[in-house]
Structure 1
């Protein structure tokens, strides 16, 4: 199986089939897939969360996805914190743009990380890596991840917990698409505001 075939395999139906196939393992496949997504960000977090919500119901599915996504983010952070300044990953730490974002994260801590993680379309892998390279305290980061992922995962779980009914209910589909679009707009707006604020602080410094 090549890269594109592997990537294309990830649909709600296939993920749910995998969960049914390994149902004796309970929630472990759903948690594992989200931990894997943190290390391989091209995997569709949105679809995995929706599959969990469909397979286990809104609340249990949300809890499984929240645990998996949070664990994955924290593991990436810890790996980067431990090995990010090694020779193999030195290109990340020495990158000028990364250095700027790192200093900004160090100054502001919890707030921007929480806001960025709240939205499903934010490149959370970048947030995890930059936070790992920065000097932000582990406690601050873990708290931001747990709170931000809670908001984001619940929104996606709510949208996807009965995804098959979206085909039968056009009005609900329109509402769901509108919510997704608004989340995307809000995330992009916050990213731009944070970037402008950072640029202003750099100019003043």
Structure 2
């Protein structure tokens, strides 16, 4: 219990500090020329989403360009999701397993999720309307292995993070490219979902 309370207090404290200095951090992102420090701050902003991370990715993309901006944005988001996984896994998995297996329906969904963890996490990350924190916490509370989570989560974040950086860069350089960027991303999602449903259909057959 003491460990859980300490972890919760520490998380809330860091979140409060980032909230206090959020505007200053945003201003710094707009003129940043230090990729290493930007990665650290991007990780913090992703771990404590005081400001929606797509906005952070857009600012970084505008400051560094689509390639470097995409890498920095992806790094920050990926590391933050891994840290969140470890935070929840270390502090609260014992509680989580009891909840996830308390009800038969939820237990079956969890078992299915654990059996297909890599693909489930990978494709969940590619769908922008699924909140990242749900994937982080649910995976950590279940018996999904750390390695499967870390790889699938990081790979699944690639297209979304590149999109955020491209949008930010396009808005600064040439807003006409924004439609092209969104079209390419939409096509990527369509192909990804088609492959997933094909795999699912083949698996059941």
TM-score using structure 2 length: 0.67
State whether structure 2 residue 127 is matched by structure 1 residue 122: no
Q: Deviations over 1:30-65 (max 9, x none)?
A: 44234432343x531111111111111221111111
**175 and 140 in structure 1: CA distance in 2 versus 1, 3 angstrom threshold:** same
Contact 2:46 2:76 in 1 (8 A): no
Which residue number in structure 1 is paired with residue 6 of structure 2?
none
Distance in 2, Cα, partners of 1:69 & 1:157:
12
Structure 2 alignment gaps of length 5 or more: 1-15
State whether structure 2 residue 180 is matched by structure 1 residue 172: no
State whether structure 2 residue 31 is matched by structure 1 residue 29: no
**90 and 133 in structure 1: CA distance in 2 versus 1, 3 angstrom threshold:** closer
Distance in 2, Cα, partners of 1:100 & 1:67:
33
Contact 2:61 2:167 in 1 (8 A): no
Distance in 2, Cα, partners of 1:158 & 1:30:
17
1:29 deviates by 3.4
Q: After alignment, is 110-119 or 149-158 more displaced? A: 149-158
Question: In structure 2, which of residues 9, 28, 48 is the aligned counterpart of residue 18 of structure 1?
Answer: 28
Q: Deviations over 1:100-148 (max 9, x none)?
A: 5432221111001000112333211100101001111111111101211
1:81 deviates by 1.0
Contact 2:54 2:164 in 1 (8 A): yes
SS in 1 for 2:129: coil
Which residue number in structure 2 is paired with residue 110 of structure 1?
118
Question: In structure 2, which of residues 144, 155, 169 is the aligned counterpart of residue 161 of structure 1?
Answer: 169
Distance in 2, Cα, partners of 1:56 & 1:91:
45
Please provide the CA RMSD for this pair: 3.8
1:93 deviates by 5.0
Q: Deviations over 1:50-85 (max 9, x none)?
A: 111111122111111111111000011111111123
Structure 1 alignment gaps of length 5 or more: none
Contact 1:30 1:52 in 2 (8 A): no
Distance in 1, Cα, partners of 2:46 & 2:147:
23
SS in 2 for 1:136: coil
Alignment of 1:133-152 (within 5 A): 133-152=141-160
1:16 deviates by 5.3
State whether structure 2 residue 175 is matched by structure 1 residue 132: no
